[in-house]
């Protein structure tokens, strides 16, 4: 019998041959492509989850218990309320064979704090990072931070020497579509897998790292990712066996997938809330027929848009049960959530028309409306349905849809009047959402994704109080208060929390995580 070999690249000069008989390739697909391999450039869950195969953080969530566990850190001590000492794992090597040290850890956190980084929500409150010795760093915060360890789960480690050598000291500015850096297209971490090939919008291949410090629970030797925008094509690829798992099967295809004897579907509620944001900064909205003023600055208009959405119909017809309607900006798994903030305002067309008339728009108005078309479950279909709903009260939304890689830089350049966004909460604490989405745009992570530039000094004051509050009961009350104030002011229009089904072959073992990420360390192909 002729034995074939799969070739796994550790570095340009280090090769590991594995008999194909024992090689376990995992092929998966979803609708979107990632925008970069720069780990501090663009902050979205799909990309961060893929990056986690190659780049590791100091701590991460255990996929089975979802409790924090050591990764590149082995232990930590709260030396004082504002000083965290972190002991680093020794004998860890980057994929090029160089040692991971305190210099790399300190640099990586500092890199995430740079002006071109989109990861400032995870460095919020950090004052400085100090190298104590080769295997120890101190993280000093400006104030006590009860969720600092949760923030560190998303701060992955990069080699300082590699970044300096390859002109990638600062993160790529994701808003600058023409800027090119080495770290944008290449990767070199400490993780269990090595990036072997990335052909954007076509194919990504990662190979097992033979020199990884840890031990996989799973048995993968190769991961192949294919972005497939078409829902029908994704499902066809799964049914034909071309891929092993689809991360985002379409709701209309689920009954067929559930009934297939060769497949299984694993469901779970994601800690991600889908909502609409609105430009509340410009004095006049581009492309609107209303000149000299911005209707979205008026709380009555925002409330009218909210109450013109038939959420029950949207969840039943468009989402087909894959959404949990909500009035909150956070999901139930997130600290700060309550039944009170979860309660939606009622669907009320007459009330919406009355509010628009009171605001001076009895005939409605025209407005730009932007949505992604390959990021969230039925994102484009949701926006099409809402466009029709708003037309019933005279609001003529001019819908445009874009793929993920161009959509997010666009909204971050403040180029959308109304936009869709889905916000997961990796820290599982409401401060992450309040500071990023609701707090007035500022420094240190404030307003990092507040791309409608909503601003309310009273809400800011409560958020800022919660930042420095050390009594957890008081802090939680402040978080809930800020969320309620945001609801009352209609800073955003919440829609639903996603219910995520993963469809896969029956021989695939995965752990469904509430952050909708695959944990590459535990996947098995049986």
Phi-psi region at 378: left, alpha or beta (left = phi > 0; alpha = psi -120 to 50): left
Planar angle of CA 231, 23, 517, nearest 5 degrees = 40
What's the CA angle centered on 344, arms 317 and 379, to 5 degrees? 40
Shortest CA distance to 191 belongs to which of 320, 317, 100? 100
Q: What is the pLDDT of residues 313-352, one digit of tens each?
A: 999 999 988 899 999 999 999 999 999 999 999 999 999 9
Predicted TM-score (pTM) of the model is 0.80
509, β-bridge pairs: 524
For 177, 244, 265, 284, the CA distances from 262, given in Å and listed in that order, are 42, 11, 11, 55
Say how many C-beta atoms besides its own lie within 10 A of residue 83's C-beta.
14
Predicted confidence at residue 6, as pLDDT, reads 30
| Closest C-alpha to 133, from 91, 105, 93 | 105
- CA torsion sign for 441, 447, 453, 458 is negative
- Residue 526 structure tokens: 């049986």
106: three-class secondary structure by DSSP: helix
Give CA–CA dist 455/446, Å, rounded. Answer: 11
Residues 6+ apart with CB under 8 A from 389: 308, 309, 310
For the chain, domains (ranges, CATH) are 25-262+506-525 (3.40.190.10), 269-500 (3.10.105.10)
Neighbouring-strand partners of residue 323: 498
pLDDT at 14: 31
Residue whose pair of structure tokens reads 């997010």 in the numeric block: 408
Count Cβ atoms below 10 Å from residue 7 Cβ, excluding itself. Answer: 11
Bridge partners, residue 421, by sequence: 275
Q: What is d(CA 322, CA 327) in angstroms, rounded to the nearest whole number?
A: 16
β-pairing, 524-525 vs 508-509, is: antiparallel
- Angstrom CA distances, 129 to 68, 82, 123, 138, stand at 21, 12, 11, 6
- 94 close to 166: Cβ distance less than 8 angstroms: no
Predicted confidence at residue 179, as pLDDT, reads: 82
Spatial distance between the Cα atoms of 376 and 445, rounded to a whole number of angstroms: 24
CA distance 375 to 35: 12
Return d(Cα 305, Cα 373) in angstroms, integer: 21
CB under 8 Å, gap of 24 or more: what pairs does 289-295 form?
Answer: 289/365, 289/366, 290/361, 290/365, 290/366, 295/359, 295/361, 295/365, 295/367
Any idea how long the chain is? 526
How far, CA to CA in Å, does 183 sit from each of 135, 141, 456?
25, 28, 38
Contacts of 488 (CB under 8 A, 6+ apart): none
Distance CA 356, CA 298 (A): 10
Blockwise average pLDDT, block size 10, the chain, 526 residues: 29 33 85 94 93 98 90 97 97 98 98 95 94 98 92 97 97 85 96 97 97 96 96 95 95 93 91 96 95 96 98 94 94 94 96 97 97 93 98 97 92 96 93 96 89 97 92 95 97 95 96 91 96
Q: Is the dihedral of CA 476, 479, 482, 487 positive or negative?
A: negative
**Nearest one of 222, 219, 229 to 204, comparing CA atoms:** 222
């Amino acid at each position: 019998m002729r034995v074939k070999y799969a070739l796994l690249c550790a570095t340009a000069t280090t090769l590991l041959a594995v008999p194909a008989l024992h090689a376990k390739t995992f092929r998966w697909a979803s609708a979107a492509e990632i925008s970069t391999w720069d780990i501090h450039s663009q902050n979205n869950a799909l990309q961060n989850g893929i990056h986690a195969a190659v780049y590791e953080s100091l701590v991460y969530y255990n996929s089975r218990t979802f409790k924090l566990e050591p990764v590149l850190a082995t232990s930590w001590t709260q030396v004082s309320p504002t000083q965290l000492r972190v002991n680093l794992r020794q004998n860890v090597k980057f994929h090029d064979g160089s040692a991971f040290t305190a210099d790399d850890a300190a640099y990586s956190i500092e890199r995430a704090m740079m002006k071109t980084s989109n990861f400032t929500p995870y460095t919020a409150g950090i004052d400085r990072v100090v190298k104590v010795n080769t295997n120890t760093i101190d993280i000093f915060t400006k104030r006590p931070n009860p969720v600092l360890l949760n923030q560190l789960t998303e701060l992955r480690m990069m080699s300082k020497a590699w970044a300096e050598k390859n002109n990638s000291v600062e993160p790529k500015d994701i808003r600058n579509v023409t800027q090119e850096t080495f770290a944008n297209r290449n990767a070199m971490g400490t993780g269990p897998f090595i990036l072997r090939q990335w052909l954007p919008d076509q194919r990504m291949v990662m190979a097992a790292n033979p020199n990884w410090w840890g031990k996989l629970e799973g048995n993968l030797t190769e991961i192949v990712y294919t972005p497939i925008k078409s829902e029908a094509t994704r499902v066809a690829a799964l049914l034909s066996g071309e891929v092993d798992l689809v991360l985002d099967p379409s709701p209309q295809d689920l009954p067929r997938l559930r009934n297939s004897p060769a497949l299984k579907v694993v469901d779970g509620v994601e800690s991600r809330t889908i909502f609409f944001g609105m430009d509340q900064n410009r004095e006049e909205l581009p492309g609107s027929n209303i000149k000299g003023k911005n209707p979205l600055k008026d709380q009555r208009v925002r409330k009218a848009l909210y109450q013109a959405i038939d959420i029950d119909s949207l969840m039943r017809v468009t989402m087909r049960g894959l959404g949990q309607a909500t009035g909150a900006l956070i999901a139930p798994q997130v600290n700060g959530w309550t039944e009170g903030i979860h309660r939606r305002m009622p669907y009320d067309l007459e009330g919406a028309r009355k509010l628009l008339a009171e605001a001076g728009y009895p005939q409605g108005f025209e407005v730009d409306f932007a949505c992604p078309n390959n990021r969230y479950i039925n994102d484009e279909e949701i926006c099409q349905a809402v466009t029709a709903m708003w037309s019933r009260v005279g609001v003529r939304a001019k819908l445009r849809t874009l793929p993920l890689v161009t959509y997010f830089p666009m909204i971050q350049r403040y180029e959308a009047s109304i936009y869709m966004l889905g916000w997961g909460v990796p820290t599982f604490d409401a401060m992450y959402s309040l500071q990023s989405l609701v707090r007035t745009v500022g420094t240190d992570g404030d307003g990092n994704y507040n791309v409608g530039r909503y601003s309310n000094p009273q809400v800011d004051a409560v958020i800022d109080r919660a930042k420095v509050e050390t009594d957890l009961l008081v802090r939680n009350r402040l978080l809930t208060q800020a969320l309620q104030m945001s609801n009352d002011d209609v800073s955003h229009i919440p829609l639903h929390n996603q219910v995520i089904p993963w469809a896969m072959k029956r021989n695939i073992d995965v752990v469904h995580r509430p952050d909708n990420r695959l944990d590459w360390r535990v996947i098995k192909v049986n």
